[in-house]
């Protein structure tokens, strides 16, 4: 094993304003950062092109949807393993935000905000105040906060998105520019084509290469929903994602920039099995309280309720509290099948760690559903087993992966698991951007990134 020692160059951080002064240093550092890269040393193109192509920090943020932590052990994943071995990994996975759904989580990664603050509180929801329905709409009024592509462009950098929930919403100076922003989302675009679009950006003249790029794979989430997390088709999907990572790595190496690019591979949430035997039926609560179906906006993995009290009801808040108490009484009575796996809350009373109350879009009553349990109104529509996510972010099954590879990430480093709201600041720091207000900690970047200008050298 090679021994590495830290080398300081005196820069601990930088901003855009300093960029012109530091560019010459940057070139030197970038060379130093990759000089110990055996692949570079052995490659002929490295010898024939001693000057590095990239003279600025570049971040490629890759999401593999529904890549549950642990999937990487299901099969051979040589490319993901390479990133882990030479990069920084969240040792026991990346912690999603609640609810552990695709849109809330991708947008938390992009903005550093919990869903209550970025506004995408579920994949689909009805605003309790306006009655308007959100179903992945692109109207910017739904999408609060400042996503990374907007921060980048606001501060004079270039961004490109090959899909990402929210990336085709026009916000601030982000115009979803043609050729640099794939829209609308098209599940049929092969993953290979998505990778190749990203790689083509590295063939542009230096000044045209986007500083920040996103790449989105919808696997293994698709197989996970259909078959649950333990199925041969999941294993195949994991192998496919690894193959796509191989395509990324090979393409970057061919262009002589693999060591320069900050490649971040992560997922939005995990996956757990849902099965018919694990169901809570709302109609089973009828002896305590009758809950009509039209009060329920979502059954599971999050029970979301907005009761419609009559006009004669003076204090709906009080009625909501009574309803919650009655439901919990029924659920904890021991007489409701699987009742112990559902706990109902007024949103203000949800555990603070969920950060899921401070938005008028969140319905007044939320039920926390046990891991893998389903909630249905009644026993009429039976279903097979399948997979789902959206549950409490405390469950290990909801965790995904985080791997960072590139000049600012330590090699072979493991960091404790962290919430994905931290990533916004990490990317902003790498790119030298002033972060917009967010829920990440400004200290976190120091625990995961090498200070700017510090790099690891073979002793
Ligand atoms: C989606 O992508 C497929 C494959 O590239 C293409 O054939 C199809 O026309 C696209 N659909 C839309 C609506 O762009
Ligand atoms: C069961 O619940 C569904 C709503 O989820 C409703 O449409 C249906 O009428 C109910 N069936 C019975 C028998 O109550
Ligand atoms: C999250 O960040 C937003 C924007 O800065 C802020 O308003 C909110 O209070 C923060 N919430 C938490 C729980 O830190
Ligand atoms: Zn997802």
CA 442 to CA 16: how far, in whole Å? 18
pLDDT score of 30? 43
When pLDDT is cut at 50, 70 and 90, the band that residue 52 belongs to is low
Helical H runs in 36-172?
38-42, 44-48, 78-85, 102-111, 115-118, 148-154
186 ligand 1 Cβ < 6 A? yes
Q: Which of 280, 293, 374 gets mutated to test ligand 2 (max ligand atoms within 8 A of its CB)?
A: 293
Residue 187 belongs to what H/E stretch? none
Copy the structure tokens of residue 423.
Answer: 């990533």
**List of residues 6+ apart from 184 with CB closer than 8 A:** 138, 168
Query: Quick one: average pLDDT of 5-26?
Result: 38
Substitution site in 181, 189, 193, 195 for ligand 1 pocket (most atoms within 8 Å of beta carbon): 189
| 440 vs 424: CA distance, rounded Å | 7
Of the residues 100, 102, 111, 197, only one is catalytic, namely 102
Q: Tokens at residue 291, please?
A: 């809950």
pLDDT at position 20? 42
Closest residue CA from atom 3 of ligand 2: 377
Closest residue CA from atom 14 of ligand 1? 186
Q: How far is the CA of 390 from the centre of ligand 4 (A)?
A: 9
DSSP 8-state symbol, 146: -
pLDDT at 381: 66
Tell which residue, 58, 255, 263, has the closest CA to residue 157. 58
Residue 232, C-beta contacts closer than 8 angstroms, at least 6 positions apart: none
441 contact partners, CB below 8 Å, separation of at least 6: 422, 425
What's the average model confidence in pLDDT over 77-98?
98
Taking a C-beta distance cutoff of 8 angstroms, is the pair 271, 388 a contact? yes
Burial class (CB in 10 A: 0-12, 13-18, 19+), 216: buried
**Percent of the residues in the chain that have a pLDDT greater than 70, as a whole number:** 87
SS3 category, 201: helix
Pairing of strands 296-298, 402-405: unpaired
Rounded to 5 degrees, what are φ and ψ at 281? -105, 120
Token digits of residue 93: 């996975």
Is the sign of the CA dihedral 259, 408, 410, 84 positive or negative?
A: negative
Q: How confident is the model at residue 454 (pLDDT cuts 50, 70, 90)?
A: low
Whether 148 shows a pLDDT value over 60: the answer reads yes
User: For the residues of 268-282, what is the DSSP string, one character each?
Assistant: S---EEE-TTSEEEG
Active site residue 183: no
pLDDT (tens digit per residue) in 230-271: 999 999 999 999 999 999 999 999 999 999 999 999 999 999
Answer whether residue 11 shows pLDDT above 50. no
Predicted confidence (pLDDT) per residue in 311-333, tens digit: 999 999 999 999 999 999 999 99
Out of 166-180, 382-396, 442-456, least confident range: 442-456
For a mutational test of ligand 2's pocket, the pick from 286, 300, 380, 383, i.e. the residue with the most ligand atoms closer than 8 A to its C-beta, is 380
Lowest mean pLDDT across 7-11, 414-418, 431-435:
7-11
Q: Is 453 exposed, middle or buried (0-12, 13-18, 19+ CB in 10 A)?
A: buried
Residue 29 confidence class, pLDDT cut points 50, 70, 90: very low
pLDDT (tens digit, 9 = 90+) per residue, 332-389? 999 999 999 999 999 999 999 999 999 999 999 999 999 999 999 999 867 678 999 9
Q: How far apart are CA 172 and CA 210, in angstroms?
A: 18
Q: How confident is the model at residue 17 (pLDDT cuts 50, 70, 90)?
A: very low
Strand 124-126 and strand 58-64: the pairing is unpaired
What distance in angstroms lies between residue 113's CA and the mean position of ligand 3's atoms?
A: 7
Give me ligand 3 centre to Cα 117, in Å: 7
State the average pLDDT for the chain: 89
277 pLDDT band (50/70/90 cuts)?
A: confident
Find, among 400, 423, 106, the residue nearest to 269 by Cα.
400
Dihedral pair phi/psi, residue 95, rounded to 5°: -90, 120
Task: Report helix angle 78-85 to 232-254, nearest 10.
Answer: 60
264 Cβ partners below 8 Å, 6+ apart?
Answer: 59, 60, 61, 62, 402, 403, 404, 405, 423, 426, 427
Nearest ligand, measured from the Cα of 65: 4
Say how many Å lie between the CA of residue 302 and the centre of ligand 3: 23
- Whether the pLDDT of residue 293 is over 70: the answer is yes
Asked if 387 contacts 272 with a C-beta cutoff of 8 angstroms, the reply is: yes
pLDDT at 452: 80
d(CA 104, CA 123) in angstroms, rounded, equals 7
Write the residue with the smallest CA distance to atom 13 of ligand 3.
Answer: 355
Please name the helix (run of DSSP H) or strand (run of DSSP E) that holds residue 366, with its range, or none. strand 365-369
- Judge whether residue 93 has pLDDT over 90: yes
43 confidence band (pLDDT: 50, 70, 90): very low
Radius of gyration of the chain (CA): 24
Q: What is the number of residues in the chain?
A: 459
Predicted confidence band of residue 80 (pLDDT cuts 50, 70, 90):
very high
For residue 436, give the DSSP letter.
P
């Amino acid at each position: 094993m090679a021994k590495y020692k830290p080398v300081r160059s005196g820069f601990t951080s930088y901003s855009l304003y300093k960029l012109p002064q530091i560019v010459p240093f940057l070139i030197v550092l970038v060379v130093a950062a990759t000089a110990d890269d055996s692949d570079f040393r052995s490659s002929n193109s490295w010898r024939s092109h001693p000057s590095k192509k990239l003279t600025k920090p570049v971040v490629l943020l890759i999401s593999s949807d529904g890549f549950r932590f642990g999937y990487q052990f299901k099969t051979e994943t040589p490319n993901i393993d390479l990133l882990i071995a030479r990069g920084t990994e969240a040792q026991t996975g990346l912690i999603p935000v609640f609810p552990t759904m695709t849109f809330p989580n991708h947008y938390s990664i992009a903005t550093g905000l919990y869903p209550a603050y970025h506004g995408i509180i579920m994949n689909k929801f009805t605003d309790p105040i306006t009655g308007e329905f959100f179903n992945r709409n692109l109207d910017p009024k739904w999408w609060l906060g400042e996503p990374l592509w907007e921060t980048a462009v606001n501060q004079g950098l270039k961004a490109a998105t090959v899909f990402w929930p929210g990336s085709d919403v026009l916000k601030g100076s982000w115009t979803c520019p043609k050729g640099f922003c794939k829209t609308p989302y098209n599940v049929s675009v092969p993953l290979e084509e998505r990778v190749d679009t990203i790689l083509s950006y590295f063939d542009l003249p230096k000044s045209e290469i986007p500083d920040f790029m996103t790449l989105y794979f919808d696997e293994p989430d698709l197989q996970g929903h259909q078959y649950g997390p333990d199925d041969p088709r999941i294993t195949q999907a994991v192998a496919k994602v690894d193959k796509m990572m191989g395509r990324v790595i090979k393409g970057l190496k061919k262009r002589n920039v693999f060591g320069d690019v900050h490649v971040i591979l992560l997922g939005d949430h995990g996956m757990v099995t849902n099965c018919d035997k694990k169901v809570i039926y709302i109609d089973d609560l009828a002896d305590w309280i009758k809950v009509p179906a039209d009060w329920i906006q979502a059954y599971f993995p999050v029970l979301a309720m907005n009761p419609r009290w009559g006009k004669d009801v003076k204090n709906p808040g009080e009625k909501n509290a009574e309803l919650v108490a009655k439901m919990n009484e029924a659920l904890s009575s021991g007489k409701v099948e699987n009742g112990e796996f559902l706990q109902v809350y007024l949103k203000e009373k949800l555990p603070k760690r969920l950060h899921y109350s401070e938005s008028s879009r969140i319905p007044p009553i939320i039920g926390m559903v046990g891991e893998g349990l389903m909630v249905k109104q009644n026993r009429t529509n039976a279903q097979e087993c399948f997979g789902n996510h959206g549950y409490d972010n405390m469950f290990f099954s909801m965790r995904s992966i985080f791997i960072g590879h590139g000049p600012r990430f330590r090699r072979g480093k493991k960091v404790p698991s962290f919430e994905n709201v931290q990533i916004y600041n990490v990317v902003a720091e790498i790119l030298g951007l002033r972060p917009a207000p967010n829920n990440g900690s400004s200290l976190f970047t120091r625990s995961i990134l090498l200070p700017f200008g510090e790099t690891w050298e073979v002793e």
